[in-house]
Structure 1
């Protein structure tokens, strides 16, 4: 049984290796996780080798056991490319590339909210959707944020700062932007992703 940190290290090694074509060094792994001691990373790697998730192939080199990797990460799905909603596709058995949604779902500093209303539909955020919100106060202009107005009313809008004011912009052309003095608005988090059940969707045409 792997610890949460060991799972994170395994996932990082897999992504790094896939993107760059070679394994990360102990220092690169330590830097990614904000650790100063590479000895800690070495201990985690020994555990991953012992449990069969990694196989040593040389000094500082590893081969990833893909079957164990995907067993350990149930929120990964085989990625087979694009579909034009017309032609059938050929499902391949041997594939390495996967769509990874663990960063979206498994977030230490995140929480979920269910959307109510239609103010963000042009950003493809629909009534009934579940949004994953990263709990942070710093927000960039244009990000979709959960904000609290006057400490009471919460809303989901695109966030902009404008000379002492905050502009909250709905993604619905039938609605107007809202303006508030900056001190009246508290950022509760920034939208990281959306979860939507196809089963729950109603036909809109």
Structure 2
């Protein structure tokens, strides 16, 4: 799955290659996506290459080859990660929100706030409970909820003030959005990637740098399975 910014960049490159026969420059990409620096473009390009959508050709300027396009571009849609969203009363849902069949509700403890930005102190106390659709959780696993603080995951559809539903687990696959405990006392919500004996905690906002840590400094506390937003 691609984030919104990754999809926008891939779409822009594809359109320019189709029109001009050559990809745009990094400055043109930066301007097209309204980013403040080219470092954000470098991260997006690297992510697209890692996911197999493009290939950079060595020793050639502006040499980017489109390998494949996601279904979202073929259909002319904006895509990326789409968490399950419980709709608020009397307000139309977001354009890209995934509909949820409520069914029976399950009460989950809200364990406090999780930082989608600079890591905050680890969370261990229940502040209140929240009702979530039964279909959002696995009856054989333990789940909890956290309130999001910060904007580092906005391109994954996770905003400041959202409540994320987390399935408790100590394991994660590359690309999962996880609750990570850093050095035993900081908790953060980030995309997880293992690179040898290092763990990359990636933001979904070009304004934030990826944090690289030795694997013994990061413990996965859970994986994102849903999201609740009120209006």
Sort the TM-score into its range (normalised by shorter chain).
0.3 to 0.5
Which is bigger in relative contact order (C-alpha 8 A, separation at least 6)?
2
- Max radius of gyration: which structure? 1
TM superposition score normalised by structure 1: 0.48
TM superposition score normalised by structure 2: 0.42
Q: Which has the higher helix share?
A: 1
